[in-house]
Amino acid sequence: MIVIKVSDFEHLIGSKVFKNKPETCPHCYSKSMKDVELLGAYNGPLLWECDHCSIQLLRFSKETTNKHLGKLKDLHFDLEELDSICEGLPN
Ligand SMILES: [Zn+2]
């Protein structure tokens, strides 16, 4: 699982939505696309990320992604607590 900061959201490439994980990265054509799950934001992959060039792609529209990320902002000040929750989860 990868956790990105809400501020990283601005570095997402474009506003094109990839409903399913692309087999190849549209930027560098690497086949190492991986799921990005954000604990507390959405139960499942919220973004796709290229393992090679680290570009992140939208799975949902920006509006929907923002809405899910908005839930994270509430948790923003409880990061230490969140860490201890993470440790308790099965990997
Ligand atoms: Zn790439």
Q: Which residues contact 63 (CB under 8 A, 6 or more apart)?
A: none
CA 13–ligand 1 middle distance (angstroms)? 11
CA 88–ligand 1 middle distance (angstroms)? 32
Rounded to whole angstroms, the Cα distance separating 67 from 50 reads: 23
Asked if residue 19 has pLDDT above 90, the reply is yes
CA 86–ligand 1 middle distance (angstroms)? 28
User: In terms of Cα–Cα distance, which of 51, 56, 45 is closest to 12?
Assistant: 56
Instruction: Report pLDDT for 25.
Output: 93
Q: Indicate the domain borders of the chain.
A: 6-75
User: In terms of Cα–Cα distance, which of 21, 30, 6 is closest to 58?
Assistant: 21
Average pLDDT, the chain: 78
Q: Which residues contact 78 (CB under 8 A, 6 or more apart)?
A: none
Instruction: Report pLDDT for 39.
Output: 83
pTM score, whole prediction: 0.67
Higher pLDDT among residues 57 and 39, named by residue:
57
Instruction: Report pLDDT for 80.
Output: 54
